[in-house]
Structure 1
Amino acid sequence: MKQTGKATRGTAINAWLPRTPLPVAILLGAVAEALFLVRVAVPHRPIFDEIYYVPAARAMLERAYLLNREHPPLAKELIALGIRLFGDTPVGWRFMSTLAGTATVLAVFAIVQLMTGRLRSALFAGVLTILNFTVLVQARIAMLDTFMTAFLLAGIATIAWAMRDGGWGKWLAGAMLLGAATACKWAAAPYVAFAAFAFLLLKRGHPQRWPGLAPLPAVALLGLVSVATYFLSFAPVLHFRVDPLTWRGLPSYQYYMYEQQVQVLPHHTYQSDWWTWPLLIRPIWYLYEVTDGAQRGILMIGNPLLMWGGLVAVAACLWGWMTSRSARLLAAFALWAGSVATFALIPKSLGFYYYYYPSSIFIVIAIAAVFDHWRARLGKWDERLVIAAFILALCYFPVLSAQALGSPRAFQYWTWLPSWV
Structure 2
Amino acid sequence: MRLKAALFGGIDAQVSAVSSIAPSLSAHPRPYRAAALIALLAQLLFSYRLTIPTKLMFDEVHYVPAARTLIALAGPRNIEHPLLAKEIIAGGILLLGDNSLGWRFFSTLAGTATVLGVFAIVWLMLGRVRPAVFAALFALFNFTVFVEARIAMLDGFMAAFTLLGIASLLWAMRAETARGAWARWILGSALLGLAVAAKWIAAPFVAYAAIGFVIVRLVDARRSGRSVFAALNARPTGGTHRHWRGMAAIPAILVLGVVSIGVYGATFAPAFFYTIDPLTWRTLLPFQVTMYAQQTQVLPSHTYQSRWWSWPLMLRPIWYLYERTDGAQRGVLLIGNLVVLWGGLVAVAACLYRGARARDLRLLAAAGLWIGSYVVWIIIPKSIGFFYYYYLPSIFLCIALSVALDHFGRRRQWDMAVLGGCVALFAVFYPILSALPLWGPNAFRVWTWFPSWV
TM-score range, shorter chain: over 0.9
Shift of 1:201: 1.2
Cα distance in structure 2, aligned partners of 1:420 and 1:414: 8
Q: Which residue of 2 aligns with 1:414?
A: 447
Q: Which residue of 1 aligns with 2:370?
A: 336
CA contact (8 A) 1:94 1:140 kept: yes
Q: 1:388 to 1:259 in 2, by over 3 A?
A: same
Q: Which residue of 2 aligns with 1:5?
A: none
Cα distance in structure 2, aligned partners of 1:117 and 1:84: 41
- Which amino acid in structure 1 is aligned with residue 214 of structure 2? L
SS at 1:82 equivalent: helix
The worse-fitting range, judged by mean Cα deviation, of 167-176 and 245-254 is 245-254
Once the two structures are superposed, what CA deviation does each residue of 1:227-266 show, in whole Å capped at 9, x if it has no partner? 0010000012222111211222100100100110111010
CA contact (8 A) 2:47 2:108 kept: yes
List, as ranges, runs of 4+ consecutive aligned residues in structure 1 with deviation greater than 6 Å: none
Q: Which residue of 2 aligns with 1:6?
A: none
CA contact (8 A) 2:197 2:264 kept: yes
Whether 1:104 aligns to 2:114 is yes
Whether 1:169 aligns to 2:202 is no
Cα distance in structure 2, aligned partners of 1:16 and 1:26: 13
Q: Which residue of 2 aligns with 1:67?
A: 77
CA contact (8 A) 2:113 2:164 kept: yes
CA contact (8 A) 2:22 2:129 kept: no
- Which amino acid in structure 1 is aligned with residue 197 of structure 2? A
CA contact (8 A) 2:123 2:129 kept: yes
Shift of 1:349: 0.5
Cα distance in structure 2, aligned partners of 1:343 and 1:233: 25
Q: Which residue of 2 aligns with 1:190?
A: 204
SS at 1:315 equivalent: helix
Aligned length: 410
Q: Which residue of 2 aligns with 1:180?
A: 194
Aligned partner of 1:14 among 19, 23, 28: 23
Aligned partner of 2:398 among 364, 369, 374: 364
Q: Which structure 2 residues correspond to residues 280-359 of structure 1 after superposition, within 5 A?
A: 280-359=314-393
Aligned partner of 2:249 among 211, 215, 218: 215
Q: Which residue of 1 aligns with 2:35?
A: 25
CA contact (8 A) 2:329 2:440 kept: yes
Shift of 1:305: 1.3
Once the two structures are superposed, what CA deviation does each residue of 1:272-292 show, in whole Å capped at 9, x if it has no partner? 111110111111110111111
- Which amino acid in structure 2 is aligned with residue 85 of structure 1? L
Whether 1:53 aligns to 2:67 is no
- Which amino acid in structure 2 is aligned with residue 196 of structure 1? A
CA contact (8 A) 2:373 2:393 kept: yes
Structure 2: segments with no counterpart, 5+ residues: 1-19, 221-230, 232-240
Q: Which residue of 2 aligns with 1:403?
A: 436
Q: Which structure 2 residues correspond to residues 124-163 of structure 1 after superposition, within 5 A?
A: 124-163=134-173
Q: CA RMSD in A?
A: 1.4
Cα distance in structure 2, aligned partners of 1:212 and 1:13: 34
Shift of 1:66: 2.0
Aligned partner of 1:267 among 301, 307, 322: 301
Cα distance in structure 2, aligned partners of 1:54 and 1:17: 43
CA contact (8 A) 2:108 2:149 kept: yes
CA contact (8 A) 1:43 1:402 kept: yes
- Which amino acid in structure 2 is aligned with residue 414 of structure 1? W
Cα distance in structure 2, aligned partners of 1:279 and 1:412: 20
The worse-fitting range, judged by mean Cα deviation, of 19-28 and 81-90 is 19-28
Shift of 1:23: 1.2
Shift of 1:15: 3.3
With normalisation by structure 1, the TM-score equals 0.95
With normalisation by structure 2, the TM-score equals 0.88
Cα distance in structure 1, aligned partners of 2:288 and 2:343: 40
Cα distance in structure 2, aligned partners of 1:15 and 1:253: 53
CA contact (8 A) 1:73 1:183 kept: yes
CA contact (8 A) 2:174 2:244 kept: yes
Whether 1:243 aligns to 2:253 is no
SS at 2:374 equivalent: helix
Shift of 1:86: 0.2
Q: Which residue of 2 aligns with 1:256?
A: 290
